[in-house]
């Protein structure tokens, strides 16, 4: 099954592009497949990081001192 594809353009650092082209050539792949893989990796990374947001953790840590006993009681 073939996925729908969409054209887009972007810019990247020359050295990065050179290295990615070398990887594609060394692996016998098209540049497009390397870009597909990289974008899929970014999507996966962000899916795993969607848990607790940093501001929520900071609020919890700030409140833990004065509310620590309450949190322990609620956990029982």
Predicted confidence (pLDDT) per residue in 2-19, tens digit = 689 899 999 999 999 999
Would you say residue 9 lies in a domain? no
CA neighbours closer than 13 Å in the CB half-sphere of residue 70: 6
Number of domains the chain contains = 1
pLDDT in tens, 26-72: 999 999 999 999 999 998 887 776 666 777 778 878 887 888 888 88
d(CA 34, CA 51): 28
Whether residue 51 lies inside any domain: the answer is yes
For 35, counting Cβ atoms within 10 Å of its Cβ (0-12 exposed, 13-18 middle, 19+ buried), the class is middle
pTM above 0.75, yes or no: no
Answer whether residue 35 is part of any domain: yes
Phi-psi region of 12 (alpha: psi -120 to 50; beta: other; left: phi over 0): beta
Could you tell me if residue 7 is inside a domain?
no
């Amino acid at each position: 099954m073939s996925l729908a594809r969409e054209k887009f353009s972007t810019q990247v650092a020359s050295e990065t592009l050179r290295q990615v082209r070398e990887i594609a050539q060394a692996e016998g792949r098209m540049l497009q497949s390397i870009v597909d893989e990289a974008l899929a990796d970014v999507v996966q990374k962000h899916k795993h990081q969607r848990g607790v947001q940093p501001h929520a953790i900071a609020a919890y840590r700030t409140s833990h001192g004065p509310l620590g006993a309450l949190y322990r009681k609620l956990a029982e």
